[in-house]
Amino acid sequence: MSTTVLLGITGGIAAYKTPSLVRLLVQAGMEVHIIMTRAATHFVTPLTLATLSGNPVHEDMWADRNRPSVEHISLADMPDLAVIAPATANVIGKIAGGIADDLLTTVFMAVTAPILLCPSMNVNMYRNPVVQENIEKLRQLNYHIMEPESGWLACGWEGEGRMPEPESIVSGVLSILSPRDLEGERILVTAGPTEEPLDPVRFLTNRSSGKMGVAVARRAAARGAEVTLVAGPIKIPTPKGVRCIPVRTALEMHARVIEAFPAMDVVIKAAAVADFRPATFNEGKMKKDDIGTSLRLVKNPDILKILGEKKRKDQILVGFAAETQDVLKNARAKLKRKNVDMLVLNDVGRPGAGFDFDTNIVHLLHRSGSEEKLDLMSKDKVADVILDRVKEMRKKAVS
């Protein structure tokens, strides 16, 4: 059964981000129902949001005078979580004051599910003592409040007041909805590619975006784990509650992972570490004629294999394999060779499962010999399945 999210959209310029937010919520497997204020419809059309959500958008309490006027109660009873994004100073003040003078505020007055507010406004409005008092009042009443981001604002000012990006809001939603079933677990996740420099301009790398590893870190933190993310050069923001150690090369990743490994209960190696690096690094940019037609390479440390040799009986080690040919044969061999507890096989040649997608199709191979083939799903969902299996393995390992 899917999770139902009720999304309230108010009349702030940040409403232009809400189509992306709806898309990400739907991709995460959620049923999304939307209420807009009249002002919000000036920034984004109901038709756009209805198309993305697959559900009608609600705007007017009196739209259909032939229907019973209790729609606000049925909408309020529907969600597992309710969100207002953007939450303007106006709607925050209304909710804090118990005012219900339109469909959105009337519905949210009756919602009993957790409510997440994402403030968005001019920096001076946000700093206004009345607004801050209202936000604090709602926080004390157990509303979840996402702190706005700082930066350039549409009004021309710079400072706090930007609505969090859709990806961050989805992370907040997932965090509120998640069971805290990984509390006490210390989990190390690696993500992204590595870059192996030849000179100050050129380097060897691969196409990994880091999305899968970051999804695992995000979901593990949402479920209560203490998460350390060792990340190569990626463009994805560090999830809330995750300690990030940025690295560039395979040698740097090796050093940071080996250093952290003894204190960890679980290591999930989702990074695509370069197998080779240039034998020498040139301080100045090399000319084409100096490079020639061949490049001498040396092997990088096999971090996963080293961890497999070092791991304790109570530690869980998960590896990833990106394959394009003889995928199961190669993955089964890697599972044994690297001494991992579980291997996540990703056939990167399949549509929706390659690098830089928001979705994935994986095959889980277990030390016991059992295998699980998962359908196409969002990377957050894949991450949760991986963490579910990790939880089961940890329970057996420490019993």
Question: What is the greatest pairwise CA distance in the chain?
Answer: 81
DSSP string over 103-147: HHHHHHHH--S-EEEEE---HHHHH-HHHHHHHHHHHHTT-EEPP
3-state secondary structure 209-232: CCHHHHHHHHHHHHCCCEEEEEEC
Cis peptide before 86 (omega within 30 of 0): yes
User: Which residues on adjacent β-strands are paired with residue 191?
Assistant: 231
Beta-bridge partners for 277: 298
- Answer whether 151's CB lies under 8 Å from 141's CB: no
Q: Collapsing DSSP states into helix, strand and coil, what is residue 274?
A: coil
The catalytic position among 141, 155, 263, 279 is 155
Q: Confirm if 219 and 387 have CB atoms less than 8 A apart.
A: yes
- C-alpha to C-alpha distance for 204 and 113, rounded to whole angstroms: 49
Tokens for 289?
């004629």
d(C-alpha 375, C-alpha 236), whole Å: 25
Q: Buried b vs exposed e over 174-185: b needs ≥16 C-beta within 10 Å?
A: bbbbbeeebeeb
Cβ-Cβ contacts under 8 Å for 144 (sequence gap 6 or more): 114, 115, 116, 117, 172, 176
Q: Hey, what are 68's tokens?
A: 């019973």
Query: Please, which residues have CB within 8 angstroms of residue 292's CB and are 6 or more apart in sequence?
Result: none
The one-letter code for the residue type at 362 is V
**155 noted as active-site residue:** yes
HSE of 318, CA atoms in CB hemisphere, 13 A: 30
For residues 56 and 29, the answer to whether their CB atoms sit within 8 Å is: no
**Residues recognised as catalytic:** 155
